[in-house]
Amino acid sequence: MAEESRAYPLVMEIIRRSRLGWRWIMVIVAAFLLLLLVLVAYLDGVFNDLSHGEFWRNFLDGPTLILYILVIYPPIWRLWRRATQCLQAVLPVDEGSSKQVTVEGPITNRRWEWVSIIVGVVFWLALWQPWAESWRSGIIWLSAYDILTQSVLFGLLAWLLYSALSGNRYLSRLGHQNLSVDLFDTGALTPVARSSLGFSLAFVGGISLSLVFQTQEDLLMWNNIIVWAILVCFVVLLFFLSMWSTHSTMARAKRRELDLAQTHLKAASRELRERAADGNLKGMEELSATITVWINYERRIKEVPEWPFNAGIIRRLAASALAPVAVFFIKVFSGLGIRM
């Protein structure tokens, strides 16, 4: 039972143990954060500010992004499971037996999951130092609420980063097992690319959503820019890192088949030259047909892609990486236009 629980990421295991279901957890968390915000606004004497949009913009970004992470994680977890299953299906057969090579399933390191959450909280506290400004404004309870939600948000964000890297490490372990890849059916490995794209889109969506809550002043703060830049770079890097081992396997298989084709092609061409030199024309048509077959096979091998994704996936990745940049500049320029 303990080993089974450790096979699930921390947040998923907590929700599994609650036995409430993911949707009910979302409803409970959303209601709790909203009611808590209303309560602390009342305690700080700013209950009338609840009718102002600026109030919600200032204090709803943390809760919204917390819910976003909890909502998007199950789909990207399912994409990752499909990627592992497609790689496990092409594991090589163990020598001396008819069984496939087995790779131990990913055992989640609970200690490092907790460490990643703590690192995320400490990172936010060190970078923003919320106690320097928040407590002077006189809204003590709202300041505490903001610190609490932002700490939870950055803890979850760091955990999500660790989870993505941990999942990528397991895919890499599978990819280094000399997979029995069919070069003419690389679509079977498309789930790996979809999983990588799913993680990337999840981070990009969070970045774009966070930008919606920012003012122009917030957008130009160096600490915000640092976080967004790190996340955008991580998105692109994660996409290619998670497929590098699969790319290496496909490249090795492609070189192996090319070597085979070229070896047969050289042998057939040499025999053709020798027969032509000796004036022996017997069997020349069959030999010429053999050479043509190997030439066509070599051409087909060269045309096979070495990455398990297509142009459509790359376009979606590029568009997703540019989305937060576009939102950033739209917000900045619209703010300048309002001021003018």
In this prediction the pTM is 0.73
Mean pLDDT by 10 residues, the chain (340 residues): 58 81 86 90 76 74 90 86 80 61 64 91 81 62 87 90 83 75 71 78 80 73 75 74 73 83 84 74 75 85 73 66 68 55
Count other C-beta atoms under 10 Å from residue 183's C-beta: 16
Residue 95 included in any domain: yes
Q: CA neighbours within 13 Å on the CB side: how many for 271?
A: 16
Residue 318 included in any domain: no
Q: What does the pLDDT read at residue 283?
A: 64
Nearest CA among 14, 236, 193, 207 for reference residue 108: 14
d(CA 190, CA 317) in angstroms, rounded, equals: 14
Residue 157 included in any domain: yes
Q: What does the pLDDT read at residue 340?
A: 34
The tokens of 158 are what?
């760091």
Residue 245 included in any domain: no
Q: What does the pLDDT read at residue 2?
A: 43
Residue 207 included in any domain: yes
Residue 65 included in any domain: yes
What range defines the domain where residue 30 resides? 2-238+324-339
Residue 317 included in any domain: no
Cβ contacts of residue 59 below 8 Å, gap of 6+?
37, 142, 145, 146, 149
Cβ contacts of residue 132 below 8 Å, gap of 6+?
none
Q: What does the pLDDT read at residue 35?
A: 92
Q: What does the pLDDT read at residue 173?
A: 79
Q: Phi and psi of 160, rounded to 5°?
A: -65, -40
d(CA 273, CA 340) in angstroms, rounded, equals: 81
Cβ contacts of residue 304 below 8 Å, gap of 6+?
183, 184, 186, 250, 254
Cβ contacts of residue 108 below 8 Å, gap of 6+?
6, 7, 8, 9, 10, 166
d(CA 305, CA 309) in angstroms, rounded, equals: 9
Provide the domain count of the chain: 1
Q: What does the pLDDT read at residue 262?
A: 86
Q: What does the pLDDT read at residue 138?
A: 63
d(CA 76, CA 262) in angstroms, rounded, equals: 42
How would DSSP label each residue in 236-250?
HHHHHHHHHHHHHHH
Q: Say how many Å lie between the first and final Cα of the chain, rounded.
A: 64
Residue 123 included in any domain: yes
d(CA 35, CA 148) in angstroms, rounded, equals: 14
